[in-house]
A = this chain, B = another copy of it.
Amino acid sequence: MVVKVLGQPHYACPRRVILALLEKEIEYEIVLVDGKVGEDKGPEYLKLQPFGLYPAIQDGDLTLFESRAIIRYYAEKYKNQGTNLLGKTLEEKGIVEQWVEVEGQNFNPPLMQLVIHILVNPVLGLPSDPKMIEESEKKLVKVLNIYEEKLSKTKYLAGDFFSLADLTHLPLTYYILEPLKKPYLVRDRKHVSAWWDDITSRSSWKKSVELYPFPF
């Protein structure tokens, strides 16, 4: 059964799912859902993803949405295929889950505010809030300082093994370096910088960028 990934594959959350499928060597196909013509808010897509957000997957009878739920599902379903993304013990898995949550709750929110106020609002003709940009960067710096400390002790976030904890950070960390043009946030931190070079040297990342180039 080929997994269908619905959405725009160059967006951050579908890319998170695609990275997991590539790491797990799972066959998939993209079903384009075009927000520019309103397909993401159309009745067909809303039946699968009621929030009208990317991505959703269809895998036989199963429909799933929320990228971090989808990557957990495949990491566990194909435990013994491709890269092990969950660690070897329940305790290691707990630590993986912890850093996946840190990404969703602490890293992603300020970074999304930077994306909205620096990249999205100017395109939409909406005002950007300089105070929000300043505060969000401060919050992100605090998170990255904690990562720097953690990555000085272990090669990856959850330990000395690559896992969902690292994978989930890939799509949006790219935004820091490229479209947001704030590479110093990564490069001024020795261990975060080495971690970024390491996780972007993986074939899954390279393939995802080659197949679905960033539009900027």
Complex Cα distance, B100 from A179, in Å, reads: 30
The closest CB in chain B to the CB of A57 belongs to B94
Q: Which residue of B lies closest to A68 (CB)?
A: B101
- Residues facing B in A50-95 (CB within 8 A) are 50-51, 62, 64-66, 68-70, 72-73, 76-77, 90-91, 93-95
Inter-chain contacts of A90 with B (CB < 8 A): 73, 76-77
Q: How many subunits of this chain does the assembly comprise?
A: 2
Which one, B50, B66, B77, B101, contacts A66 given CB within 8 A? B101
Contacts of A65 in B (CB 8 A): 98
Contact A69 B101 (CB under 8 A): yes
A73 to B72 alpha-carbon distance, docked (Å)? 13
Q: Give the interface residue-count category, chain A.
A: 20 to 34
CB-based contact B146/A64 at 8 Å: no
**Contact B104 A149, beta carbon cutoff 8 Å:** no
Determine if A201 is an interface residue (Cβ-Cβ < 8 Å): no
Cβ 8 A contact of A149, one of B50, B97, B105:
B50
- Picked from B50, B69, B98, the residue with its CB within 8 Å of the CB of A64 is B98
The reply to whether A104 and B104 form a contact with Cβ atoms under 8 Å apart is yes
In the complex, what's the smallest C-beta–C-beta distance from A120 to chain B, in angstroms? 16
B contact residues around A119 at 8 Å (CB): none
Q: A64-B95, A69-B97, A94-B64 are in contact. Are A146 and B50 (CB under 8 A)?
A: yes
CB neighbors of B among A146-171 (8 A): 146, 149-150
Point out the residues of chain B lying under 8 angstroms from A104, CB to CB. 101, 104-105
C-alpha gap A65/B95 in the complex (Å): 9
Chain B residue with Cβ nearest A102 = B66
**A208 contacts across to B, CB distance below 8 A:** none
Binding site for B on A (CB under 8 A): 50-51, 62, 64-66, 68-70, 72-73, 76-77, 90-91, 93-95, 97-98, 100-102, 104-106, 109, 142-143, 146, 149-150
